[in-house]
Amino acid sequence: MDEPAYRRVVVKLSGEYLAGSQPFGIDQPTVDRIAGDLASARALGTEIAVVVGGGNIFRGVEVSSRGVSRPTGDTMGMLATVMNCLALEAALERRGQSARALSAFVMPEVCELFTRNAAHKYLSEGRIVLLGGGTGNPYFTTDTTAVLRAAEIGAQAVLKATNVDGVYSSDPKKDPSATRFERLSHSQALEGGYKVMDATAFALARETSLPIIVFSIAEPGSIGAILKGTGRGTIVAS
């Protein structure tokens, strides 16, 4: 078997994708399919941590205009990410893939607190580590969390799973003339204002020289394909 392209990665999943075709909530067939993709990718030999959003359950930024303070709303959203991590953890364990959910918040009855040492330990044991609770601070997105955690645990890349197969010059769903980039620098991604990740995430990735690979999660097996170097996507790297 060929060696995977990366020894350790962080996969960033959107919470909205876990809802499947539903407007909100957790769609179990979708969660099971993603768990299968993650387990298959882990079998290639790459150590995998996962940061998942919470937008399928709650979006803190949306309630700030309805009387809930932004810090409180963001905290509620970060708690939603823990729920998604627990759903993925259960789905992975059912498949026989050992997994461990870690949270940025202290909640010992629910899951263990994230520390770099704990993440290193579980990853080296072959577990898929699910990182919930965002950064533990308001105003930071889970995209930024993914880059931050990747830098902390020594990951070699962030795999940003989206509903399109890379970064385009404009929205390909609205503009048929949109072109896909094979490669961008972090600075080009920032200056171009592409919406696949927020500016803070791109800036932190640039500062830490961390590659980001933007790809579509819609195709089964796409995570493994990226790890093998055969997947379709855009590499954002210095």
Query: 2 lies in a domain?
Result: no
138 annotated to a ligand binding site: yes
12 annotated to a ligand binding site: yes
59 annotated to a ligand binding site: yes
139 annotated to a ligand binding site: yes
Residue 18 tokens read as 């876990």
Query: 30 lies in a domain?
Result: yes
Query: 212 lies in a domain?
Result: yes
174 annotated to a ligand binding site: no
Handedness of CA 172, 204, 64, 84 (dihedral sign): positive
How do beta strands 212-216 and 233-236 pair? antiparallel
Distance of CA 222 to the CA centre of its chain: 14
If one counts the domains in the chain, the total is 1
Whole-prediction pTM value?
0.95
Cβ atoms of 78 and 133 within 8 Å: the answer is yes
60 annotated to a ligand binding site: no
Query: 1 lies in a domain?
Result: no
Q: What is the CATH number of the domain that holds 81?
A: 3.40.1160.10
Model pLDDT, residue 169: 93
230 annotated to a ligand binding site: no
How do beta strands 167-168 and 180-181 pair? antiparallel
162 annotated to a ligand binding site: yes
32 annotated to a ligand binding site: no
The per-residue pLDDT string of the chain (238 residues; one tens digit each, 9 = 90 and over) reads 567 889 999 999 999 999 999 999 999 999 999 999 999 999 999 999 999 999 999 877 777 778 899 999 999 999 999 999 999 999 999 999 999 999 999 999 999 999 999 999 999 999 999 999 999 999 999 999 999 999 999 999 999 999 999 999 998 889 999 999 999 999 999 999 888 899 999 999 999 999 999 999 998 999 999 999 999 999 999 8
Q: How far apart are CA 51 and CA 165, in angstroms?
A: 19
Q: How far apart are CA 174 and CA 155, in angstroms?
A: 34
Cβ atoms of 236 and 162 within 8 Å: the answer is no
Model pLDDT, residue 1: 53
Enclosing domain of residue 161:
8-236
Query: 3 lies in a domain?
Result: no
